[in-house]
Structure 1
Amino acid sequence: MSSSSTGTPGAPKYIDAEVLASLVRDPTKTPGKDYVVVDVRGEDFGFGNIPGAVNIPSHEFLDRPRDFVEPLNSVPKVIFHCALSQVRGPKCANHYQQVSAVVRGQQEAAKEGEGAPQEILILRGGFQNWQNLYAKESDLVENYNAQFWKEEL
Protein backbone atom coordinates (compact mmCIF):
# COMPACT_ATOMS: atom_id res chain seq x y z
CA MET A 1 0.00 0.00 0.00
CA SER A 2 1.32 3.38 -0.88
CA SER A 3 0.61 7.02 -0.36
CA SER A 4 -2.29 8.30 -2.39
CA SER A 5 -3.37 11.74 -3.43
CA THR A 6 -6.35 13.53 -1.96
CA GLY A 7 -7.29 14.67 -5.44
CA THR A 8 -6.47 18.33 -4.75
CA PRO A 9 -3.35 19.48 -6.60
CA GLY A 10 -0.61 20.42 -4.19
CA ALA A 11 -2.49 19.19 -1.13
CA PRO A 12 -0.75 16.87 1.32
CA LYS A 13 -1.17 13.20 0.50
CA TYR A 14 -2.29 10.38 2.75
CA ILE A 15 -0.04 7.60 3.94
CA ASP A 16 -1.42 4.20 4.97
CA ALA A 17 -0.61 2.79 8.39
CA GLU A 18 1.25 -0.17 6.87
CA VAL A 19 3.58 2.15 4.95
CA LEU A 20 4.31 4.22 8.06
CA ALA A 21 4.83 1.05 10.12
CA SER A 22 7.48 -0.07 7.61
CA LEU A 23 9.16 3.31 7.90
CA VAL A 24 9.13 3.22 11.72
CA ARG A 25 10.59 -0.30 11.66
CA ASP A 26 13.26 0.51 9.06
CA PRO A 27 16.61 0.39 10.90
CA THR A 28 18.17 2.69 8.28
CA LYS A 29 15.70 5.50 9.08
CA THR A 30 15.98 7.82 12.06
CA PRO A 31 12.96 9.67 13.50
CA GLY A 32 13.57 13.41 13.48
CA LYS A 33 16.15 13.11 10.71
CA ASP A 34 14.61 10.99 7.93
CA TYR A 35 10.98 11.49 8.97
CA VAL A 36 8.95 12.96 11.77
CA VAL A 37 5.49 12.04 12.98
CA VAL A 38 3.59 15.08 14.26
CA ASP A 39 0.75 14.04 16.55
CA VAL A 40 -1.64 16.96 16.92
CA ARG A 41 -3.90 15.31 19.51
CA GLY A 42 -4.30 16.79 22.96
CA GLU A 43 -4.40 14.90 26.25
CA ASP A 44 -5.07 11.50 24.66
CA PHE A 45 -1.47 11.51 23.38
CA GLY A 46 -0.54 10.41 26.92
CA PHE A 47 -2.49 7.16 26.46
CA GLY A 48 -0.60 5.89 23.45
CA ASN A 49 1.46 7.22 20.60
CA ILE A 50 3.59 6.24 17.62
CA PRO A 51 7.22 5.83 18.75
CA GLY A 52 9.23 8.99 18.32
CA ALA A 53 6.15 11.11 17.57
CA VAL A 54 6.30 14.79 18.43
CA ASN A 55 3.17 15.97 20.23
CA ILE A 56 2.08 19.44 19.20
CA PRO A 57 -1.62 19.90 20.03
CA SER A 58 -3.43 21.37 17.03
CA HIS A 59 -4.37 24.65 18.75
CA GLU A 60 -0.70 25.29 19.59
CA PHE A 61 0.40 24.42 16.09
CA LEU A 62 -2.21 26.65 14.45
CA ASP A 63 -1.41 29.56 16.82
CA ARG A 64 2.36 29.47 16.15
CA PRO A 65 3.03 27.42 13.00
CA ARG A 66 6.34 29.07 12.13
CA ASP A 67 7.77 27.97 15.52
CA PHE A 68 7.28 24.38 14.39
CA VAL A 69 7.87 24.68 10.65
CA GLU A 70 11.40 26.02 10.86
CA PRO A 71 12.82 23.15 13.00
CA LEU A 72 11.10 20.52 10.81
CA ASN A 73 11.92 22.09 7.46
CA SER A 74 15.00 19.92 6.86
CA VAL A 75 13.20 16.60 7.52
CA PRO A 76 12.31 14.87 4.20
CA LYS A 77 8.96 13.42 5.40
CA VAL A 78 6.58 15.08 7.84
CA ILE A 79 3.58 12.94 8.76
CA PHE A 80 0.62 14.51 10.57
CA HIS A 81 -2.19 12.78 12.42
CA CYS A 82 -4.81 13.26 15.08
CA ALA A 83 -7.29 10.74 16.44
CA LEU A 84 -9.02 10.04 13.13
CA SER A 85 -7.08 12.28 10.71
CA GLN A 86 -10.33 13.81 9.52
CA VAL A 87 -10.07 17.39 10.82
CA ARG A 88 -7.13 18.44 13.00
CA GLY A 89 -4.42 16.36 11.29
CA PRO A 90 -5.32 17.43 7.73
CA LYS A 91 -5.86 21.05 8.80
CA CYS A 92 -2.42 21.19 10.44
CA ALA A 93 -0.78 19.43 7.48
CA ASN A 94 -2.30 21.95 5.05
CA HIS A 95 -1.27 24.87 7.25
CA TYR A 96 2.23 23.43 7.62
CA GLN A 97 2.50 23.12 3.84
CA GLN A 98 1.50 26.76 3.33
CA VAL A 99 3.84 28.15 5.99
CA SER A 100 6.65 25.83 4.92
CA ALA A 101 6.44 27.08 1.34
CA VAL A 102 6.95 30.65 2.58
CA VAL A 103 9.81 29.68 4.91
CA ARG A 104 11.54 27.59 2.24
CA GLY A 105 11.18 30.41 -0.25
CA GLN A 106 12.83 32.82 2.16
CA GLN A 107 15.62 30.37 2.95
CA GLU A 108 16.27 29.64 -0.72
CA ALA A 109 16.40 33.36 -1.54
CA ALA A 110 18.89 33.91 1.29
CA LYS A 111 21.06 30.95 0.29
CA GLU A 112 20.49 31.20 -3.46
CA GLY A 113 20.13 27.43 -3.40
CA GLU A 114 17.30 25.00 -3.75
CA GLY A 115 16.32 22.73 -0.88
CA ALA A 116 15.24 19.15 -1.37
CA PRO A 117 11.46 18.78 -1.70
CA GLN A 118 9.70 17.84 1.50
CA GLU A 119 6.91 15.28 1.53
CA ILE A 120 4.01 16.30 3.77
CA LEU A 121 1.68 13.41 4.59
CA ILE A 122 -1.40 12.62 6.67
CA LEU A 123 -1.79 9.25 8.39
CA ARG A 124 -4.94 7.67 7.00
CA GLY A 125 -7.33 6.76 9.83
CA GLY A 126 -5.24 8.58 12.45
CA PHE A 127 -4.21 7.08 15.76
CA GLN A 128 -7.53 5.28 16.11
CA ASN A 129 -6.72 3.09 13.12
CA TRP A 130 -3.05 2.82 14.13
CA GLN A 131 -3.84 1.51 17.60
CA ASN A 132 -6.50 -0.85 16.19
CA LEU A 133 -3.78 -2.38 14.01
CA TYR A 134 -0.72 -2.18 16.25
CA ALA A 135 -1.74 -1.84 19.93
CA LYS A 136 -0.05 -5.15 20.80
CA GLU A 137 3.17 -4.36 18.93
CA SER A 138 5.46 -2.56 21.37
CA ASP A 139 7.78 -1.39 18.61
CA LEU A 140 4.89 0.53 17.02
CA VAL A 141 3.02 1.93 20.04
CA GLU A 142 4.47 3.65 23.11
CA ASN A 143 2.74 4.46 26.41
CA TYR A 144 -0.32 2.46 25.41
CA ASN A 145 -3.21 2.39 27.88
CA ALA A 146 -5.66 -0.26 26.67
CA GLN A 147 -8.27 0.70 29.29
CA PHE A 148 -8.42 4.26 28.03
CA TRP A 149 -9.01 3.15 24.43
CA LYS A 150 -11.55 0.53 25.49
CA GLU A 151 -13.54 3.22 27.33
CA GLU A 152 -13.23 5.63 24.39
CA LEU A 153 -14.77 3.12 22.01
Structure 2
Amino acid sequence: MIKATPEAAAKEFAVVDVRSDDFVGGNIVDCVNSPAETFHVDVDGLVKKLDGVPKVIFHCALSQQRGPKSARQKKAQEVYVLRDGFTGFQQKFRNDPALVEKFNKKYHD
Protein backbone atom coordinates (compact mmCIF):
# COMPACT_ATOMS: atom_id res chain seq x y z
CA MET A 1 0.00 0.00 0.00
CA ILE A 2 1.66 3.23 -1.12
CA LYS A 3 0.10 6.39 0.21
CA ALA A 4 1.72 9.79 0.02
CA THR A 5 0.30 13.06 1.16
CA PRO A 6 -0.61 15.59 -1.56
CA GLU A 7 2.08 17.86 -0.16
CA ALA A 8 4.81 15.23 -0.72
CA ALA A 9 6.35 17.04 -3.67
CA ALA A 10 6.72 20.23 -1.59
CA LYS A 11 8.66 18.49 1.19
CA GLU A 12 12.40 18.48 1.67
CA PHE A 13 12.30 14.78 2.51
CA ALA A 14 9.97 11.80 2.71
CA VAL A 15 10.05 8.86 5.11
CA VAL A 16 9.34 5.41 3.67
CA ASP A 17 8.43 2.74 6.21
CA VAL A 18 8.92 -0.74 4.72
CA ARG A 19 7.44 -2.64 7.65
CA SER A 20 4.41 -4.83 6.91
CA ASP A 21 2.66 -6.68 9.75
CA ASP A 22 4.83 -4.83 12.25
CA PHE A 23 3.60 -1.44 10.93
CA VAL A 24 0.68 -1.71 13.35
CA GLY A 25 1.23 -0.03 16.68
CA GLY A 26 2.70 3.24 15.50
CA ASN A 27 4.50 5.04 12.73
CA ILE A 28 6.31 8.24 11.88
CA VAL A 29 3.81 10.96 11.00
CA ASP A 30 3.25 11.36 7.23
CA CYS A 31 5.39 8.35 6.34
CA VAL A 32 4.71 6.33 3.22
CA ASN A 33 4.11 2.66 4.02
CA SER A 34 5.53 0.43 1.29
CA PRO A 35 6.03 -3.09 2.71
CA ALA A 36 9.36 -4.72 1.86
CA GLU A 37 7.66 -7.90 0.60
CA THR A 38 6.09 -6.00 -2.30
CA PHE A 39 8.54 -3.12 -2.55
CA HIS A 40 10.15 -4.35 -5.77
CA VAL A 41 6.72 -4.40 -7.43
CA ASP A 42 5.75 -0.95 -6.09
CA VAL A 43 9.07 0.89 -6.49
CA ASP A 44 8.13 2.59 -9.78
CA GLY A 45 4.90 3.89 -8.25
CA LEU A 46 6.81 5.10 -5.23
CA VAL A 47 9.27 6.98 -7.44
CA LYS A 48 6.35 8.71 -9.18
CA LYS A 49 4.59 9.59 -5.90
CA LEU A 50 7.75 11.07 -4.46
CA ASP A 51 8.82 12.90 -7.60
CA GLY A 52 10.30 16.23 -6.59
CA VAL A 53 11.18 15.14 -3.05
CA PRO A 54 14.98 15.48 -2.92
CA LYS A 55 15.68 13.13 0.01
CA VAL A 56 14.06 9.82 0.90
CA ILE A 57 14.64 8.15 4.28
CA PHE A 58 13.93 4.42 4.52
CA HIS A 59 13.40 2.39 7.65
CA CYS A 60 11.96 -0.82 9.02
CA ALA A 61 11.86 -1.89 12.67
CA LEU A 62 15.61 -1.78 13.26
CA SER A 63 16.89 -0.62 9.85
CA GLN A 64 19.20 -3.61 9.64
CA GLN A 65 17.70 -5.60 6.75
CA ARG A 66 14.43 -4.53 5.09
CA GLY A 67 15.10 -0.76 5.24
CA PRO A 68 18.63 -0.87 3.80
CA LYS A 69 17.65 -3.47 1.18
CA SER A 70 14.73 -1.34 -0.01
CA ALA A 71 16.90 1.79 -0.01
CA ARG A 72 19.34 0.08 -2.38
CA GLN A 73 16.51 -0.50 -4.88
CA LYS A 74 15.57 3.20 -4.93
CA LYS A 75 17.94 5.24 -7.07
CA ALA A 76 16.07 8.40 -8.14
CA GLN A 77 16.62 10.64 -5.12
CA GLU A 78 19.16 11.06 -2.39
CA VAL A 79 18.55 8.01 -0.18
CA TYR A 80 19.15 7.48 3.55
CA VAL A 81 18.45 4.75 6.10
CA LEU A 82 17.10 5.72 9.52
CA ARG A 83 19.61 4.53 12.11
CA ASP A 84 17.99 2.17 14.67
CA GLY A 85 14.76 2.09 12.62
CA PHE A 86 11.33 2.77 14.06
CA THR A 87 12.30 0.97 17.27
CA GLY A 88 14.95 3.56 18.10
CA PHE A 89 12.83 6.44 16.81
CA GLN A 90 9.80 5.57 18.92
CA GLN A 91 11.93 5.11 22.03
CA LYS A 92 12.98 8.75 21.73
CA PHE A 93 9.87 10.37 20.24
CA ARG A 94 6.79 8.20 20.91
CA ASN A 95 5.28 10.82 23.21
CA ASP A 96 5.49 13.54 20.56
CA PRO A 97 2.31 13.43 18.41
CA ALA A 98 3.97 15.68 15.83
CA LEU A 99 6.46 12.87 15.11
CA VAL A 100 4.73 9.56 15.98
CA GLU A 101 1.11 8.60 15.39
CA LYS A 102 -1.02 5.56 16.29
CA PHE A 103 1.53 4.48 18.91
CA ASN A 104 0.51 1.45 20.93
CA LYS A 105 2.97 0.46 23.64
CA LYS A 106 1.94 -3.22 23.60
CA TYR A 107 3.61 -3.64 20.20
CA HIS A 108 6.95 -2.11 21.21
CA ASP A 109 7.82 -2.89 24.82
TM-score w.r.t. length of structure 1: 0.62
The structure in which a higher percent of residues are strand is 2
Which of 43, 46, 50 is residue 72 of structure 1 equivalent to?
50
What is the percentage of aligned positions where both structures have the same residue? 44
Q: RMSD in angstroms over aligned alpha carbons?
A: 1.7
Query: 1:4-153 alignment to 2 at 5 Å?
Result: 32=8, 33-34=10-11, 35-97=13-75, 100=76, 118-150=77-109
Distance in structure 1 (CA, Å) of the matches to 2:84 and 2:45: 27
Give the ranges of 4+ consecutive aligned residues of structure 1 lying more than 6 Å apart after TM superposition: none
TM-score w.r.t. length of structure 2: 0.84
Aligned length: 102
Distance in structure 2 (CA, Å) of the matches to 1:74 and 1:85: 24
How far is the alpha carbon of 1:90 from its aligned partner? 0.6
Larger radius of gyration: 1
Distance in structure 1 (CA, Å) of the matches to 2:51 and 2:72: 14
Distance in structure 1 (CA, Å) of the matches to 2:51 and 2:22: 26
Which amino acid counterpart does residue 87 of structure 1 have in structure 2?
Answer: Q
